[in-house]
Structure 1
């Protein structure tokens, strides 16, 4: 029996199947990106005090802001200048602060202010409310794999970016 890449008919069929499966995966990821963009546009009216990209940045600051701008840039897949510029606007709005790193006083890290933490929590709640209909339509089995699978796909695609 042939295996993928071995030149046999079975191997060629396995190669074609893998290519077709890869194309279907790519189509699904592109569809997910498209729906994410549409969802972003539909969520924006819920946020009169912050944009969706700013909310993403606040989330990143909460997740890894103490590691610095580079970590936030990698987390969000935004350039360092973009993160720096957006962080300055959020700092001016009183939602985050730049402080000296504990181990290297020359380096700056980002933390949320109390106002930033409150805003992020409330906006996450609004997003969760909006997406709860989709979540409720999933079976228990689908729910058990949905979040880990999405996070794994994000990690895999992020490595390619």
Structure 2
């Protein structure tokens, strides 16, 4: 498991040069905001496996950068929901394309047998990690 975490960390480090205007963790949070930001900080915390204070702090930085906005929830004005700004949507879309191209090149370097076991194995490992949290 530690080896898997080390690989994930190295992968993130190798992807960072693709992004001069956003960090990989910020990109992950933007993706999470698009997926479940309207459900609030708690949902983002669960989605990203980050603590709520970490998500709140990162969201504040992304809001200051003009990439997302925190707005009062409709049913409970004390609660905040997050949405991407137009600039945030554009940045996320562009960066997803870069990541997809890079990962596509890696994927095609695998043989058919490796590809057939890779996805189920990654899903299984993800489920195992999810059980630990």
TM range (shorter): 0.7 to 0.9
Aligned CA RMSD, in angstroms, stands at 1.8
Report whether the alignment pairs 1:88 with 2:60.
yes
Aligned with residue 59 of structure 1, among 31, 36, 39: 31
- The runs of at least 4 aligned residues of structure 1 exceeding 2 Å deviation read 29-32, 137-153
Tell me: CA distance 1:140–1:70, structure 2 relative to 1, closer, same or farther (3 Å): same
Deviation at 1:44, TM superposition (A): 1.0
Unaligned runs of 5+ in 1: 1-28
RCO comparison, higher one (Cα < 8 Å, 6+): 2
Structure 1 or 2, whichever has the larger Rg, is 1
Report whether the alignment pairs 1:42 with 2:52.
no
Whole-Å separation in 1 of the counterparts to 2:103 and 2:62:
26
How many residue pairs were aligned? 133
Instruction: State the TM-score, normalized to the length of structure 1.
Output: 0.74
Whole-Å separation in 1 of the counterparts to 2:93 and 2:116:
24
